Chain A
Amino acid sequence: METISIDVASLNLPALLPMAILALGALGLICVDLVVKGLNRSFLTMITILFILLDLGAVIGYNGPSRAFFDVLLVDGIALIAQVIILVASAIFLPLSLSHRHFREFEMAEFYALFMFMIVGFQCMVVSDNLILIFIGLETSSLALYTMIAMHNRAKAFEAAIKYFTMGALAAGFYALSALIFYAMTGSVEIYQIEQALQARNFEPLVGILAGTIFMLGALGFKLSLVPSHTWTPDVYEGSSAPLAGYMSVVPKIAGFVVAMRLFEMLVYSGVVWLEHILYAAVVLTMTLANITALVQEDVKRMLAFSSISHAGFMMAAILIGTTQSNTALFLYWTLFMFTNLGAFTMLWIVRHRKNLWDERYQHPYTKFSGLVKLMPATATIMGIFMFALAGMPPFSVFWGKLYLISAAINSEYIYLAVIIALNSAIAVYYYMKLAVYMFLKEPVMSDATLYATNASTPLKVIVGVSVMITVFAIIFVEPLLNILTKYVSASGF
């Protein structure tokens, strides 16, 4: 055997620091919980947020070489943006645990430790182009997430966790198969080496590449809830608590998008028409089917679940287009979407009531919001703003993302795609408006306004306030944000 000698400096360990901070924080939190009994959820929340902020500091402060740790880590521009989005989103979703009523999962230190491990998993996914590390990140985050859903401790939550777990296990199998196929063809698990090897052999045999792509699409499609592997989404969102559902609709997806961007853009640029067609079909189906299904939903949370699938479809369109502008559009869209979606799910969390007073089957049926403007004008107006913003009404936040995305499509001559995106936005307006119609134009079914605020607390109101501000005044910071995003995206060659 040849001895292996490695220079520690060449490992570039500071690149691991962001992940290490949260992993150590999670372990430390468990230890503190062992020693100190009866830790309050506010303590757990704030300590976790502090660790996330430290992590954010380490991420922003890193300026070493982009490759690190046996070249497994790849800290480039998109990894940086994605990590910042993941961490900021985590830090503002977490205080939703400080609701007026107490929930079992938010009282347990394990929830917060799992939360931190989950973020570590997401970070591993985005800072690597090594299929194995991505897999590890994917599984770490997914396993933590399954458990956190089940900790909600309702019958529906267990159902959701099991469903998510089973589908996730299938997706993990797909992922492993796909990685195996690519490895078998190219002898490497690094995306950039796979690309070189495939180019060297002129993308032959096509069957192998096709199988690898299909399996990968299945696996990532599960994470990103692309049609047809989207069926878990509404049930899982419905079963989990509103904060976690909102979180799931934003953060795991951004991690998935980055992986998809690294992998699929390589395949799209291969010039194999097939691959592009497959992706094209997935994108169009995801946008359209999810939108049409959302039309017939009776529950607002399920509607938001389907709408988030359709938003994910828009994002896949950006990846399909694959220009710098479209990739920038993806991050811009998702940042703006994050705040608006956060606001919408926080509103659902605020109006959550212990009993299903309005409908036996659903927790947030449309009828629940009937005439809300007469009972609680401010709540109704804010909810209305979020709905119109999600629908893409100017000048609210998501509009700017959509604008930039459609122009990216037109600029790279994907005219049909641009038309399909526009048509889908038109369909989407209907179900968002439906809620506004219920709130503003119908008569109230309840006369007691307090029923709608049983879970409200100051932290929740502050979060809603921040989201509303960002949603309404998005026009102010779209330009600087776009400049930063373009700089980082183009610097990393996407």
Chain B
Amino acid sequence: MEHILSLLVFFPAVAGLLGFLVAKESIRAYGISVSVIEFCLSLILWIGFDSANAGYQFVEYYAFIPSYGMSYYLGVDGISLFLVILSTFITMIALIGLSIEKDIKNLIISVLFLEMTMVGVFLILDVIWFYAFWELSLVPMLYIIGGWGGERRMYAAIKFFLYTFAGSVLMLVGILYMGFLYYEATGIWSFALPDWYLLQVPFKAQLWLFGAFFLGFAIKVPMFPFHTWLPYAHGQAPTIGSVILAAVLLKMGSYGFVRFSLPLFPDATVYFLIPVAIICIIMVIYAAMIAYAQEDMKQVIAYSSISHMGIVILGTFAMNAEGITGSIFLMLSHGIVSGALFMLVGVIYDRRHTKMIRDFGGLAQVMPNFATVYGIMLMASVGLPLTVGFVGEFLSLVGFYRISWILTLLAGTGIILGAVYMLVLYKKSFFGQVVHEENRSLKDLNAKELSALIPLVLLVAILGIYPKPLLSTIDMSVQKMLVLMDQKAIEPATKELIMKANSIGGTH
């Protein structure tokens, strides 16, 4: 159990390497077996996780390049625990539902390497390693989109790569500057995040550093106006690429905000709070409106992702336990729901080789099971109470209500707009008469697709009704982070706002 985090990070990579020796006809079984083992490992981590301890657990620390303060530093807390489980779970589900036959061996090995980078990003506490995993995650994704994507896959893959790479290079400058500040203050080099947490950064420097980190994370999330790579990437990526991209890779950006921006730069966070919130509102409303105008089913879901990520970021910047816990929960629920929706689009694309809404219609008669699962996921995406989508959205908005009720109200319209475009999509595709003859002979979900989708449906219902085990674990670590932010704040305005955000009617 001592090295379970190292096992979690590197098991998929080792399995990927050994995968080169596995024969093509068994590679699917191999990929699924490996991802199931990895998922079981992450569950063991959860079982072994002490949910009364808010700090980092299962910590592994080895000095890596001591003269420059780099270390191999792993640890898990309530914030990252469930994101790790989400990564392993979604990878497993995506591999189970995989329907590609072409070059499947290369694809599965890429996915396994991608899994390593995802788990690594969430577990690593050394910032240089974090950056390494963060950048490495681009490479398998570039290959997945470029190798198995649609017609304009090259363009989409390169755009995805350049966009996110440019953002993260600026982040690297920020990382190095932060390391320098730490050296200046203490006289030793360190890139360990827990060390950085203890450093009070001067206000001026905070603003610049916040900006550098913000660009890296905002492009990944993606936030308006850096979102334009996402629809392309989703439009061209194969199903498995879209599923992992939407469910996990986007969360790396929002995780970065929670893990880096807030606790490292509390004053800058408060300083930029309202501008960021306004960007979030724009994301929510603007992306929802574009989603409504789309004719491609996959693009609708891609833009709805942007819209939901707006609420995630808004919740993060609420600066209180409800908002941040809610936004982390929303990351998880959005991972489950958007993953499922992209998989469902993949199901219909495999059968009809089109994603255009106008080519469908009346699918509910031909494919009742498909329509049911789609309907449930759609409701969860809209945020219907008792589904998983509701909990996170509600908490995020409740959290931000303390900061500004007007902005919260505007963000709340996102839910209504979400209902509009989603229900319209559903109506056009599933209800009415079957207008296209080729749709009459479509087959309903097969056993493979059901085995991938049913766990997702179950999770939507279970976590929607009883989210407490997750929420309480996340909340504990978030509370600890908030206390840290309050202690570190330099400006009185920051302390005041944190106090205000965390109190109800004068008590707290």
Contact = CB atoms under 8 A, between A and B. Distances in A.
B29 A43 contact: yes
Given A32-B29, A32-B33, A47-B30, A57 B21 contact: no
Contacts of A49: 18
A17 B29 CA distance: 25
A450 interface: no
Nearest to B24: A40
B2 interface: yes
B11 interface: yes
A36 interface: yes
Contact of B25 (A17, A28, A40): A40
Interface stretch (A59-67, A355-363, A435-443): A59-67
B33 A98 contact: no
A374 B102 CA distance: 45
B78 interface: no
B301 to A, nearest CB: 32
A216 to B, nearest CB: 35
A98 to B, nearest CB: 7
A459 interface: yes
A39 interface: yes
A478 interface: no
A53 B14 CA distance: 9
B49 to A, nearest CB: 14
A50 B18 contact: yes
Contacts of B41: 54
Nearest to B34: A50
Contacts of B25: 38, 40
Interface in B9-41: 11, 14-15, 18-19, 21-23, 25-27, 29-30, 33-34, 37, 41
A43 B30 contact: yes
A46 B4 contact: no
B406 interface: no
A400 to B, nearest CB: 28
Contact of A46 (B1, B2, B11, B30): B30
Interface in A457-474: 459
A45 B26 CA distance: 11
A168 interface: no
Contact of A42 (B1, B3, B11, B21): B21
B21 A46 contact: yes
Contacts of A62: 1-2
Interface string A139-171: 000000000000000000000000000000000
Contacts of B11: 50, 53-54
Contacts of A54: 7, 11, 37, 41
A61 B3 contact: yes
A54 B11 CA distance: 8
Contacts of A36: 29
A208 interface: no
A17 B22 CA distance: 27
Interface string B480-492: 0000000000000
Interface string A18-61: 00000000001000100010111111011101110110011011
A13 to B, nearest CB: 10
Given A40-B25, A42-B21, A95-B21, A47 B1 contact: no
A28 B19 CA distance: 19
Contacts of B3: 57, 60-61
B117 interface: no
Contacts of B15: 46, 50
B304 interface: no
A173 interface: no
B47 to A, nearest CB: 11
Q: Which of B7, B23, B29 has the most CB of A within 10 A?
A: B29
Secondary structure of the A side of the interface?
Answer: helix
B6 interface: yes
Of the candidates A17, A50, A459, the one having the most CB atoms from chain B within 10 angstroms of its own CB is A50
B23 A50 contact: no
B56 to A, nearest CB: 17
Contacts of B27: 43
Contacts of A39: 26, 29
Given A53-B14, A54-B11, A54-B37, A61 B23 contact: no
B1 A17 contact: yes
B105 to A, nearest CB: 11
Contacts of B30: 43, 46-47
Contact of B2 (A43, A63, A459): A63
Interface in B95-139: none
Contacts of B34: 47, 50
Contact of B14 (A43, A50, A98): A50
A46 B18 contact: yes
Contacts of A51: 37
A40 B23 contact: yes
B30 to A, nearest CB: 5
Contacts of A46: 15, 18-19, 21-22, 30
A43 B23 contact: yes
A38 to B, nearest CB: 7
A14 B1 contact: yes
Nearest to B29: A36
A41 B1 CA distance: 30
Contacts of B29: 32, 36, 39, 43
A41 B23 CA distance: 8
Nearest to A24: B40
A200 to B, nearest CB: 38
Nearest to A35: B29
Nearest to A17: B1
B137 to A, nearest CB: 22
Nearest to B15: A50
Contacts of B22: 40, 42-43, 46
A50 B1 contact: no
B1 A58 contact: yes
A40 B26 contact: yes
A98 B18 CA distance: 12
A50 B26 contact: no
A459 B20 CA distance: 11
Contacts of B37: 50-51, 54
A45 B27 CA distance: 12
A142 to B, nearest CB: 28
B487 to A, nearest CB: 33
B446 to A, nearest CB: 15
A95 B21 CA distance: 10
Interface string A405-437: 000000000000000000000000000000000
A349 B12 CA distance: 31
Contacts of A40: 22-23, 25-26
A42 B6 contact: no
A45 B30 CA distance: 10
Contacts of A63: 2
A98 B26 contact: no
Nearest to B14: A53
Contacts of B2: 60-63
Nearest to A49: B18
A40 B28 CA distance: 11
Interface of B: 1-4, 6-7, 11, 14-15, 18-19, 21-23, 25-27, 29-30, 33-34, 37, 41
Query: Which 5 pairs across A and B sit closest by C-beta, in order of nearness?
Result: A43-B26, A61-B2, A40-B26, A61-B3, A40-B23
15 contacts: A32-B29, A39-B26, A39-B29, A40-B26, A43-B26, A43-B27, A43-B29, A43-B33, A46-B22, A46-B30, A47-B30, A47-B33, A47-B34, A54-B7, A61-B3
Given A46-B18, A50-B18, A98-B21, 14 more contacts: A17-B1, A28-B33, A32-B33, A42-B26, A46-B22, A50-B15, A51-B37, A53-B14, A57-B4, A60-B3, A61-B7, A62-B1, A63-B2, A95-B21
